[in-house]
Chains A and B, each alone.
Chain A
Amino acid sequence: MKLMKLTCAAALLSSAATVAMADSHATELHFIMCGGEVRDADQAVVDQFEADNEGVTVNLEAVPWGTCQDKSLTLAAAGDPPSIAYMGSRTLRQLANNDLIVPAQIQDDVIYQDGVLNTVTIEGTQWGYPHAFSTKALYINCDIVEASGQECVAPTTWDEMYAMAEGVVANTDAAGVGLAGKDFDNTMHQFLNYLYSNGGVVIDSATGANMLDSQQTRETLEFYGKLASVAQEGPTAWERDQLKDLFNDGQIAMYVQGPWGYGQHNEDINQLVAPVPAGPSGESGTILITDSIVVFKGSGHEELAQELAQRITSGDSQYDLDSSWGLTPILDYAAMGKTDLYYEDGIWPNFTATISTGGPEPLLEDFKSLQSVFTNMVQGILLEDDTVDNLVTIAGEELDDAL
């Protein structure tokens, strides 16, 4: 009888231990971090989060951009969603429309820069916590420009930009400008930098209407075609981040890139940074791109994931990330009481001045089709496949299909 009691007690103890272990494993948050690396600033928040929540572990999985968003979406669609993920905000509409994520609970004391929340807002609901923000500006290699016999002064209009590029081509071995035209998302992004600097709109934020087929788009595409004549050989084989190699190698005199470009360029290059020049119908602008933290539905840890998302995007943590990574400030840190801000001098005003005139990366459910619309149009003019009029008309129709 005694043996029987002991056996029962041991069985009870072991099952209790098993349940306890199962519980501790059940509170593992799967965090997919697109970009292939975990930044120190984010890792510090995660470590603190784990320390503050006993029994909770965060399984951080860094996945390269090329496959990350597809992986997160596929996992979610297959019913095994990550708890939380850092992804491009362009995926939000697809995720939201398919009921795969829950709305973000952005706290009132987090004050974003103008236009940032538009990149995560769909019909009035915010679906992600913006976490990384980028604007673009024009980098100029003054050594090349001066070698061509020109003064290295930042062009403010497209005409000035073209004239400078033309002068470089005529008087040096370098190309005047670097253009991105590969089958890649930043072909669309690069084009939108110019479109938004010409007063163009892709989708009306109030009505959701397709505005692509416009005079501004025609002017922008025509300018792209003109730039192709002074650009590097074969722009359709290049994506934006590869252009930095040409810039560093002295093969192109200028190109449009994010603030991180400054640190990636050779130190011996005399570089000038300027806002993207303005087109005939607009003022200097930029594409406003954000990547966001999203909380997936159905992981069983939505509340914990929301808490982690709030922490990782809160003032101090976000500031650490922005300043250490060299990102355009995503929050209005001055309004939040921060002083001695990293983005007040140096090249930074070129990236912050155009925030108010910039436009968002369009939020479409089928964002890959959106990308194709722009890639087809841009490649069409770069390869001289069709007229500006036809290409823009076709792009407008294709965008209608994608909407």
Chain B
Amino acid sequence: MTDIATEYAATGTKQKAKSLPEAVFAWLLIGPAMLFIAVIVAWPLAETIRLSFMEAGLGGEEYVGLANYQDLVESRKFHQTIVRTFYWMFLSVALKLILGLIGATLLNAAVPGRALFRVLVMPPWIIPMAIGMIGWLWLYNGYFGVLSGTMMSLGITDGPFEFLAYKQSAFYSAVVADVWVGTPMVTLFFLAAMQGVSRDLYEAAWVDGAGRWYRFRRITIPQIMPVIVSMSLLSAIFTFNSFEIIWILTEGGPRGATTTLIVDTYKTAISNFKFGEGSARAVIIVILLGAFSLIYLNVLKYVNRKYGTK
């Protein structure tokens, strides 16, 4: 063996000897996080799946197979709840995206006091949810609330109007409150993305005679499309699982008009102590959100491919 070959062989051995501890070291680094996830995510999820096959309550549990799922499949109320949940999610997310886009565009414009406006957009996001919703409760109150009072003084209504008393108005009032909470996050993410768009593109388009709307449509939107898609997914998941807003405003009423899947699950499992039936609902939520996320991720992949983001 030549000197070079000997040296190469020695180096190779050295590298091989080095790679094993590195792998161990990597596992050591990732181990606590994996353990943590196993304890707080995997185990509860496995336990929820197990419980969904049980009739479980305060007194114990009994295996019932697919009975809990069968009840849900046959329940007209549950079907209505699923439809209502998706309607709630699509409506709320669409409004958040539209308002977020408008807000981000305005905040990105070179207007005096822009920094102040950027700060002012934050409160709905940073105010504790419960406090914010108690504020909305008062706003929606027919007798003591500002909204009803304003409507009366403008002659829109003859007397007080209780926003949370009727099925439709309660639902849309809850959507408005949810949009109020969720829009700032969307706005700030869109704003960050817009600030990353090269000024050269706008200047070149301007030189070519492109108007504002054209530049927005053909430069801004495509450039921030990956962020729009990512935010849509995140926002959809948050909205689907939005619990506090509905619970504080209406507790799912009146007559179930604002009961979404997550509220229904809470009522069943925690309020009524029907852990088995509640778990079946929770598993269905996981499946629905999993499928939804899968579709979204594929869309995101397509968007990234189309708009050149890796």
Residues of chain A whose beta carbon lies under 8 Å from any beta carbon of chain B: 70, 73, 76-77, 94, 97-100, 181-184, 232-238, 245-246, 249, 251, 366, 368-369, 375-376, 379-380, 383, 385
Q: Which one of B58, B141, B164 contacts A94 once the chains associate, using CB atoms below 8 Å?
A: B58
Q: Is B278's beta carbon under 8 Å from chain A?
A: no
Q: In the complex, A133 Cα to B199 Cα: how many Å?
A: 73
The number of residues on chain B lying at the interface, defined by a beta carbon within 8 Å of a beta carbon of chain A, is 28
A-contacting 9-mer, from B10-18, B34-42, B251-259: B251-259
Contact between chains at B255 and A235 (CB < 8 Å): no
Q: In the complex, A32 Cα to B59 Cα: how many Å?
A: 21
Query: How far does the Cβ of B211 sit from chain A's closest Cβ, in whole Å?
Result: 48
A-contacting 9-mer, from B20-28, B154-162, B290-298: B154-162
Q: Is B239's beta carbon under 8 Å from chain A?
A: no
Contact between chains at A246 and B143 (CB < 8 Å): yes
Contact between chains at A368 and B272 (CB < 8 Å): yes
Q: In the complex, A162 Cα to B159 Cα: how many Å?
A: 21
27 contacting pairs across A/B (C-beta < 8 A): A73-B273, A77-B58, A94-B58, A94-B273, A97-B59, A98-B59, A181-B165, A183-B251, A183-B252, A183-B253, A233-B161, A233-B162, A234-B162, A234-B165, A236-B162, A236-B165, A236-B254, A237-B163, A238-B162, A245-B143, A246-B143, A366-B272, A368-B271, A369-B272, A376-B255, A379-B254, A383-B166
Q: Is B276's beta carbon under 8 Å from chain A?
A: no
> A238 contacts which chain B residues (CB < 8 A)?
162, 165
Q: In the complex, A237 Cα to B253 Cα: how many Å?
A: 9
Q: Chain B residue with minimal CB distance to A77?
A: B58
Q: Mark B147-182, 1 if CB is under 8 A from A, else 0.
A: 000000000000111111111000000000000000
Query: How far does the Cβ of A367 sit from chain B's closest Cβ, in whole Å?
Result: 9
Q: In the complex, A76 Cα to B60 Cα: how many Å?
A: 12
Q: Is B250's beta carbon under 8 Å from chain A?
A: yes
Q: Mark B220-251, 1 if CB is under 8 A from A, else 0.
A: 00000000000000000000000000000011
Query: How far does the Cβ of A196 sit from chain B's closest Cβ, in whole Å?
Result: 24
Query: How far does the Cβ of A37 sit from chain B's closest Cβ, in whole Å?
Result: 20
Contact between chains at B57 and A98 (CB < 8 Å): yes
Q: Is B142's beta carbon under 8 Å from chain A?
A: yes
Q: Mark B26-67, 1 if CB is under 8 A from A, else 0.
A: 000000000000000000000000000000011100000000
Q: Chain A residue with minimal CB distance to B271?
A: A368
In order of increasing CB-CB distance, the 5 nearest A-B pairs are A234-B162, A234-B165, A183-B253, A98-B59, A237-B165
Tell me which of A235, A237, A246, A368 has the highest count of chain B C-beta atoms within 10 A of its own C-beta.
A237
Q: A236-B254, A237-B142 are in contact. Are A70 and B271 (CB under 8 A)?
A: yes
Query: Which of chain B's residues 111-150 have a Cβ closer than 8 Å to chain A?
Result: 140-144
> A183 contacts which chain B residues (CB < 8 A)?
250-254
> B271 contacts which chain A residues (CB < 8 A)?
70, 368
Q: Is B287's beta carbon under 8 Å from chain A?
A: no
Contact between chains at B272 and A234 (CB < 8 Å): no
Q: In the complex, A249 Cα to B251 Cα: how many Å?
A: 26
Query: How far does the Cβ of A87 sit from chain B's closest Cβ, in whole Å?
Result: 14
Q: Is B288's beta carbon under 8 Å from chain A?
A: no
Q: In the complex, A171 Cα to B58 Cα: how many Å?
A: 54
Taking A234-B165, A246-B143, A383-B254 as known contacts, 15 extra A-B pairs with beta carbons closer than 8 A to each other, sorted by chain A number, are: A70-B271, A73-B58, A73-B273, A77-B58, A97-B59, A100-B58, A182-B253, A183-B251, A233-B161, A236-B164, A237-B141, A249-B144, A375-B253, A380-B255, A383-B255
Q: Is B286's beta carbon under 8 Å from chain A?
A: no
Q: Chain B residue with minimal CB distance to A385?
A: B255
Contact between chains at A233 and B159 (CB < 8 Å): yes
> A94 contacts which chain B residues (CB < 8 A)?
58, 273
> A249 contacts which chain B residues (CB < 8 A)?
143-144
Q: In the complex, A109 Cα to B232 Cα: how many Å?
A: 68
Q: In the complex, A360 Cα to B99 Cα: how many Å?
A: 52
Contact between chains at B273 and A181 (CB < 8 Å): no
Query: How far does the Cβ of B170 sit from chain A's closest Cβ, in whole Å?
Result: 8
Contact between chains at A236 and B166 (CB < 8 Å): yes
Query: Which of chain B's residues 256-309 have a Cβ closer than 8 Å to chain A?
Result: 267, 270-273
Contact between chains at B161 and A234 (CB < 8 Å): yes
Contact between chains at B143 and A233 (CB < 8 Å): yes
> A246 contacts which chain B residues (CB < 8 A)?
143
> B251 contacts which chain A residues (CB < 8 A)?
182-184
> B252 contacts which chain A residues (CB < 8 A)?
183
Q: In the complex, A282 Cα to B142 Cα: how many Å?
A: 35
Tell me which of B161, B163, B255 has the highest count of chain A C-beta atoms within 10 A of its own C-beta.
B255
Query: How far does the Cβ of B169 sit from chain A's closest Cβ, in whole Å?
Result: 9
Q: In the complex, A129 Cα to B251 Cα: how many Å?
A: 31
> A181 contacts which chain B residues (CB < 8 A)?
165, 254
